[in-house]
Every structure is written in C-alpha cells, then in structure tokens.
Structure 1
C-alpha cells in the first residue's frame, strides 16, 4: 500500500525548491539550456557552501556536516 504524502513530509526539499524558484527563476530568462544549467550549478554550490543558516549555528550546510562528523 502507498502512503499519501504531504508537503510537510519532505519539508527540506520543499524549502529548497521554493527558495530556488524565488531566488533564481522569477524574472530570469535563460538564453540557452547550457546557461540555465551553469546558473543552476552555481546556485546549488551557493546553497551548500556559502549560505549561512542560523539553525546550523552560523555555518553553511557543508561546514555544519563537516564539523559534526569530526566530533
């Protein structure tokens, strides 16, 4: 049997895609698919390596994971 899923079941991904749409897509026109892919890769790199989160004690997601895996 399949369970019925809701947005809250996958809150982290819902948050990511919501922010992605607002911060990258809206008002943006990409001339080619390659430019879109390049911009998407830049955004994902920013999301993982530069974005600071207060929930993660002021660290980026990569810094947070690295910090807690070394403890």
Structure 2
C-alpha cells in the first residue's frame, strides 16, 4: 500500500469542503442553459453579455 504525505488537518479540511454546497451552482446552471440555448456556439464573452442583458 502506498502512503501519501498529506497532513491530517489538510485531509479533514478537504473532506469538509467537499460536503459544502457549491455557492456558484445557480450561475453554473444559468451559464449552461445559455450555452445550450445557442447550441454551443457562444463563448464566455457572448454568454456574459447575454446574462448581463437579462439583468444578472
């Protein structure tokens, strides 16, 4: 068995972080919907402009 040199505190910190809810989930959903709406042809600049035009 291989051993990873990782401090125990770091291990527990990352386990705790993985259990938290993603604060960007709403944004990720909006961005993905906009991307799919335009059939993958919009890049980040156009997606940003569209979301801004929608008042986000």
TM-score interval, smaller chain: 0.3 to 0.5
More helix by share: 1
How does the TM-score come out when normalised to structure 2?
0.45
Larger RCO of the pair (alpha carbons < 8 Å, separation 6+): 2
Larger radius of gyration: 2
